[in-house]
Amino acid sequence: MNLKQIVIVEDEVFMREELKEMLYHAGYEVTLIVSFENVVEQLLELLPDLVLLDLNLPYMNGFQICRKLKQKSTIPVLILTSRDQMKDELSALELGADEYLTKPCRKERLLARVSNVLKRYEGRTNLLEGNGFLLDRQTYTLYIHNQSLILPKNQGKILEVFLEHGEEVVYKEELCIALWGTTEFIDENALNVNLTRLKKTMQELSMNQSIQTLRGIGYRLVKSCLSSDKIEMERK
């Protein structure tokens, strides 16, 4: 039986060790983050089943970590913090946090919330989450509006790259690597054909996100209300 892996991101040593013991005795595999300079990168490398995340952290706070992690993955996040203001809880949930608990928290309540989040994410390890849709990165099945659609392979590869980048710019070279495994020969026409087909598919499905062209730079996934605006960012 494979144990569920939970990563604890907590800078207070006593609390971190207490949580570790509690989760270990509850039957989970527990990993501790003890270096906080590149937390998101560490989490993406570990790909745990759940992240237990504090908000008050050095270098990058929990809100920033949650936002960046959710842009690049569907790893569930449970916020455990001493911040008990409603505005903090709402901000965390808007950024994609799956649960929000305040310290001190009873052991039984924490373990129940951990179990509930893990159950909700059963079978979703291959899924990337967009705004109102999910993409299976193995089969390129798109789940949207209570229906599913298998995308052509190239369209699926392109959409996967955009979802992995979140709001960040995607460069042509990155798309070429995803499609053909190389940047030595960039076929602009072939790339544009594949992008146009994906844009058409997204439009036909009335998706909440669309591909925006940043001329001279690359592309970006944006909310559909901005899809008609092509931003020209090259310096003339």
Each residue's pLDDT tens digit, 218-236: 999 998 753 344 433 333 3
92: its two tokens: 């965390």
Residues of the chain with CATH 3.40.50.2300: 5-120
End-to-end CA distance of the chain: 60
Band of pLDDT at residue 124, cut at 50, 70 and 90: low
188 DSSP 8-state letter: H
Band of pLDDT at residue 123, cut at 50, 70 and 90: low
* Cis previous bond, 76, omega within 30: no
Kindly state which CATH superfamily the domain 5-120 is placed in: Response regulator (3.40.50.2300)
Q: Are 52 and 80 in contact (CB under 8 A)?
A: yes
Is residue 19 predicted with pLDDT exceeding 50?
yes
**pTM above 0.85?**
no
- Residue position matching structure tokens 């505005």: 87
pLDDT in tens, 149-164: 899 999 999 999 999 8
> Which CATH class for the 127-232 domain?
mainly alpha
Residues of the chain with CATH 1.10.10.10: 127-232
Element (H, E) at 143: strand 141-144
Give pLDDT, residue 187: 81
| Residues paired with residue 213 on neighbouring β-strands, in sequence order | 219
